[in-house]
């Protein structure tokens, strides 16, 4: 099989690597930077921004977003970017900031295109982009995919194109030390699902497999310590590296049924993405074990366990994810919505790349199993 693998051109990694922000800016030759981040992050990194300004880079801050990224956020970003006249973009934050910045990078340079057009283009111009993750979960800093919720359709769009890959990446585990245990758990399980699904994908390659297994090993040995010991820098670095490797893996293969079923669950019920994926993943693993036995055996070996399913179920229990989900879900409405969720899952990415192709009835049963277990908790 012939395959093509895509990478970010420059990745600067290590504790304190945020100090290399000026170097990263010089590499993309920016003189005017559109900075996408939260107000809290803006304040915490004020001294770094002062250094950029002292070096002749004008800064235009954009903080008009929250929670999951949407087309409304994107339209606002496009408007403010045009007003700024910036020639570079810097995104610092979790998946919301990074995904919005990636979409902005491409759409601001191709004004006649929409999100839906991106994947069909052979070549795309872009605004140079630096990505700095402050969570360890999405891997968006190295992927050729952006995930944006269409507020009109109430559906997550996830176009893919090499132009969406950031031009520079700073991986600094010190920026993840302030993550709450809840965010640590949910984003960490999302990253683990990225790696596992990349490895069992029908599009997996020898190169993506290498990244996936390294991600699985790194996350497997780090996630409990990162959750239980928030200031454990070694565990935080293990999670950040694992998330990045998982991003490289699934960006060059794909995610599958766990993400296909999680996207509509998160969109329809406003659940955090990582929580949605973590809830669905055990049911998807159980569904696909018989079709990818050898692959799951290799994953179990990388995790240092006899059962992948037991491993992720135990993490879900430790992190009390079903209890969290019950606070956010109307279970009766969830049960009534199963046909709509199935339709949305079937219309998105991740079905055809599953080792075992699910039928409509299979996906219905997966959602029913989730409802039954939540009602029984």
Q: Tens of pLDDT along 7-20?
A: 899 999 999 999 99
Q: Do 50 and 189 sit in the same domain of this protein?
A: no
Query: 120, 145, 176 — which closes off a domain?
Result: 176
- Output the pLDDT for position 304: 97
Residue 3 forms part of a structural domain: no
Same domain, 107 and 225: no
If asked whether residues 164 and 197 sit together in one domain, one would say no
Domain with 269 in it: what CATH number? 1.20.1090.10
Same-domain pairing of 172 and 185: no
Whether residue 21 is contained in a domain is answered as yes
Is the pLDDT score of 1 beyond 80?
Answer: no
Task: Give the β-pairing of 155-157 and 148-150.
Answer: antiparallel
- Whether 1 is covered by a domain: the verdict is no
Q: Above 90 in pLDDT, residue 225?
A: yes
The per-residue pLDDT for 377 is 65
Q: Using the predicted structure, report yes or no on whether residue 231 has a pLDDT greater than 80.
A: yes
Integer-rounded Cα radius of gyration of the chain: 20
In a domain, 86, yes or no: yes
Query: What pLDDT, on the 0 to 100 scale, is given for residue 233?
Result: 98
How many whole angstroms separate alpha carbon 372 and alpha carbon 114? 40
**CA angle (229, 322, 212) in 5-degree steps:** 60
Looking up residue 34, the CATH number of its domain turns out to be 3.40.50.1970
Instruction: Answer yes or no: is pLDDT of 360 > 80.
Output: yes
Whole domain around residue 107: which residue ranges? 11-176
Please tell me the number of Cα atoms within 13 Å of 302 on its side-chain side: 24
Chosen domain end from 161, 176, 191: 176
**Residues 110-126 pLDDT 10s:** 999 999 999 999 999 99
Report the pLDDT value the prediction gives residue 3, as an integer from 0 to 100: 84
d(CA 42, CA 61): 8
Q: Are residues 130 and 256 in the same domain?
A: no
Tens digit of each residue's pLDDT (9 = 90 or more) over 97-109: 999 999 999 999 9
User: Would you state the pLDDT for residue 349?
Assistant: 86
Locate 336 and state its tokens.
């009534």
Helix (H) or strand (E) holding 81: helix 71-84
Query: CA 98, 90, 144 angle in degrees (round to 5)?
Result: 40
Q: Which band of pLDDT confidence, cut at 50, 70 and 90, is reported for residue 216? A: very high
Nearest to 246 by CA among 212, 294, 292, 210: 212
User: Do residue 295 and residue 227 come from a single domain?
Assistant: yes
What pLDDT, in 10s, does the model give residues 57-69? 999 999 988 888 9
Distance CA 17, CA 103 (A): 25
Q: What is the pLDDT of residues 128-172, one digit of tens each?
A: 999 999 999 999 999 999 999 999 988 888 899 999 999 999 999
Q: Does the structure show a pLDDT above 70 at 286?
A: yes
Domains contained in the chain, number: 2
Note whether 194 and 285 are same-domain residues. Answer: yes
Last residue of a domain, one of 112, 145, 176: 176
Q: Work out the pLDDT band at 306, boundaries 50, 70, 90.
A: very high
Give me the mean pLDDT over the 203-225 stretch: 97
DSSP 201: S
Mean pLDDT, residues 298-305 taken together: 98
Is the pTM above the cut of 0.85? yes
Q: Please, are residues 20 and 11 in contact by the beta-carbon 8 Å criterion? A: no
How much is the pLDDT for 155? 86
- 5 falls within a domain: no
pLDDT mean over 321-348: 95
Residue 4, domain member (yes or no): no
Residues 270 and 131 in one domain: no
Cβ–Cβ < 8 Å for 353, 284: no
Domain match, 330 and 215 both: yes
- Helix orientation angle between 293-303 and 206-228, rounded to the nearest 10 degrees: 40
Mean pLDDT of 328-351: 95
Q: What percent of the chain is modeled with pLDDT above 70?
A: 100
Per-residue confidence band for 348, with pLDDT thresholds at 50, 70 and 90: confident
Q: Residue 131, CB half-sphere, CA atoms under 13 Å: how many?
A: 33
CA dist 152 and 72 (Å) reads 9
The CA distance from 263 to 284, in Å, is 14
């Amino acid at each position: 099989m012939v395959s093509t693998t895509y990478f970010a051109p420059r990745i600067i990694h290590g504790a304190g690597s945020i100090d290399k922000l000026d170097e990263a800016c010089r590499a993309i030759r920016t003189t005017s930077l559109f900075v996408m981040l939260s107000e809290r992050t803006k304040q915490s990194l004020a001294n770094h921004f002062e250094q950029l300004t002292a070096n002749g880079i004008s800064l235009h801050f954009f903080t008009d977003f929250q929670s999951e990224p949407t087309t409304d956020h994107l339209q606002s970003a496009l408007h403010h970017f045009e007003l700024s006249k910036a020639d570079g973009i810097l995104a610092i934050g979790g998946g919301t900031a990074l995904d919005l910045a990636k979409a902005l990078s491409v759409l601001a340079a191709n004004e006649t295109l929409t999100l839906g057009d991106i994947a069909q283009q052979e070549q795309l111009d872009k605004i140079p982009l630096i990505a700095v993750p402050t969570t360890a979960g999405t891997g968006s800093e190295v992927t050729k995919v952006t995930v944006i919720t269409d507020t009109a359709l109430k559906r997550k769009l996830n176009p893919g194109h090499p132009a969406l890959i950031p031009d520079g990446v700073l991986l600094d585990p010190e920026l993840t030390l302030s993550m709450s245990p809840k965010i640590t758990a949910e984003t960490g399980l999302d990253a683990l699902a990225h790696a596992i699904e990349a490895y069992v994908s029908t599009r997996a390659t020898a190169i993506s497999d290498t990244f996936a297994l390294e991600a699985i090993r790194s996350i497997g040995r780090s996630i409990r310590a990162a959750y239980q010991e928030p200031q454990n820098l070694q565990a935080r670095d293990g999670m950040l590296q694992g998330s990045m490797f998982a991003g490289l893996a699934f960006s060059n293969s794909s995610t599958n049924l766990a993400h296909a079923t999680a996207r509509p669950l998160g969109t329809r019920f406003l659940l955090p993405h990582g929580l949605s994926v973590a809830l669905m993943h055990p049911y998807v693993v159980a569904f696909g074990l018989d079709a990818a036995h050898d692959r799951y055996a290799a994953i179990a070996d990388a995790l240092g366990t006899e059962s992948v399913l037991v491993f992720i179920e135990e993490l879900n229990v430790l992190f009390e994810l079903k209890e969290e989900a019950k606070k956010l879900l109307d279970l009766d409405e969830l049960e009534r919505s199963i046909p709509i969720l199935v339709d949305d899952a079937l219309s998105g990415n991740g079905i055809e790349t599953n080792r075992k192709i699910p039928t409509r009835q299979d996906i219905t049963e997966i959602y029913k199993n989730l409802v039954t277990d939540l009602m029984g908790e």
